[in-house]
Structure 1
Amino acid sequence: MTDTDLRKRARWAVAFGAMALISPRAKAQHTDPATAQTLFDSAKALMKEERYAEACPLLLNSQRLDPTAGTAINLALCYEKNGQTASAWARYLETVELAARLGQTERERYARERAKALAPTLSYLRIRGADLPAAAIVQRDGVVVDRALLSNDAPVDPGSHAIQVGAEGYKPWSTEVNVPSGPTHLDVDIPRLERNEPPAAGDMAADVSGASHEDVAASRRRHRTWGFVGLGAGAVGVGVGAFFGLRALSQKSDADAKCNGSLCQAGGPELQDDARRSATFSTVGFGVGLVAAGVGTYLLLTAPSAPAAHSNVATRIGFDGRSVLLEGAW
């Protein structure tokens, strides 16, 4: 296998998701060499006891926290011993790249040989979906599969794999496939997705009328109670804002009388600070008051109609770029 072929296989392995057998959160945000070393030592001890299923996750997390060629090659070996051939093959290729950059020729040679030996034994899974909606999302084992990679063989570990497909307006589809040990190629064909059927008008009417008068009345009371509470809180907030606004104006006037630019008489700087604090309280008061009043108004407008009235309530909330619009009709 030439160096060019090896680099192509490495990129191909990443593209088709052999690395995606790892969690989507695989990339560590910060290195942590101390924790990585602790995990590495624990994993090596488990590997000596041939407890590979327990050791591999520790090595994986060690590599996330502090990526090195040494950890990568041990992780590849652990995967290989645990029967995870695709994961092992991908990690050996990763080791080749890392070791080559670091000039670790012995590790690079060993990893190259192991990747070459594993390649003919891999299991491949091909997901095909010719009639998928444009917005469909295909996942394999919880990892999104790029639509451009569908209908291509992807190396996977032997064992069970879950395929899920979802698209807005369509019923979700899923299946589970058991991939045997390689060399093998397995195909999964995604059927044409079924559209969601909108509920019939009669069913919608039945749902609305199914609520008891007591439930509607209780919901109406809750909406109106909290609506009036919101209006009351809004009034208090606006009042507080107005009070501190007037107070800020008064304090600023007193401060201006004692200050000329940056030159102030005794007590002038304190009055300026008091004016700024009052202005801040005023702004907060007005803001809280307006929000509370808006929520209260919304709750009153959206309160269910009294059961005996049988009236219809319609509300709309919009935003015109400068202010919130709340409209109601009943």
Structure 2
Amino acid sequence: MAETTTSPFGKGLLAATSIQLAETRRGAGRAPGMSAVAGLASAVAVMLAGPAARAQEPARDPVAAEALFKAARALVDKGDYAAGCPKFEASLALNPSASTMINIARCHEREGKLATAWHDYQRALVLNRETAGEQRRRSLEEIAKKEIAALEPRVPKLSVVVEGAPSGVEVHRDGTALPAAALGEPLPIDPGPHEIRASAPGHETETRAITLAEGQTETVALTLRPAAAAGPGAAGAPVTAGDAPGGGGGVPAWAWVSGAAGIVLVGASVGFLIDDLSAISALRDNCREVPGGTYCTPGYDFAADNARKNRDFGLFVGLGGAGLVALGVAVYGIIGAGGEKEPAPAQGAVALPWIAPSGAGASISGSF
């Protein structure tokens, strides 16, 4: 059952009275006014401290705590721990007692929270000092110590170590910060999954998950690595063509190669067009249509100019088309460099002209 305790305000009032009487006795040889003032000041100071002490402590209601304790006991006896255990917690909040704490410890033990239950029994021993009645106090103490002895070999322990711990390291176990003095110590913990996280300024955060069984003792060793340097030009960072000095202001090199090839091809196609027009002009000047066929000036090589005309026209079309394609690729590369930078391709685009007896053209190779 729940035990009752003495009110802090009552203790404070008794203390104030005692101080006032003592001051009165000591001040018998002083001036009467000074003794009275000193005694009154002491009494007022202690009486004012009484409400402050009550404000810092949770409100107590032993009657409600007793009712909740009995209701919880009845539910647990029926096997309804889900409804009974929260009532023990509510009873403890209204009036802390060793018996209520022991029942809460048993609830946690049943849930598999062995370290939490072990801690609850330790708290019960502390609360038991205020239990009324010597026999009752000894009985509760024996229960708590017996349960602690039975739980200790079952409680898992976890030790966290940060190898070469950098300055400002912070370690969290299941979201709760571990003090630096706790590192390396095997601390009791409930069975089941747990998460360990370590971080430090200028270092990568490391997270480790571990699952502990009853009675298991484990050590989690963490090593924090320096954070990698970021940004182009940093040690180990890749440098693209647009980032390299003299890289054409961000325009990839293949765009300039393709543009130059396009200009050469278009220029060559224009040259073949001029030669084609010259051949056509020579044919018109030296040959004319007559009834029954074509008449050419004696000594004029009709076949040579006719072949030159056909060849030049094919080269004009092929090289001109290839040049326009190469120029288009160059424009694409230059415009694209003005937006989001793309990684430079492993090989630039190159236009390669080809000439065959029946025609001409160009092939584009590389990455676009």
Q: What TM-score does the superposition give when structure 2 sets the normalisation length?
A: 0.41
From the CA coordinates, give the structure whose radius of gyration is larger: 2
Q: Which has the higher contact order (CA 8 A, sep 6+)?
A: 1
Q: State the TM-score, normalizing by the size of structure 1.
A: 0.46
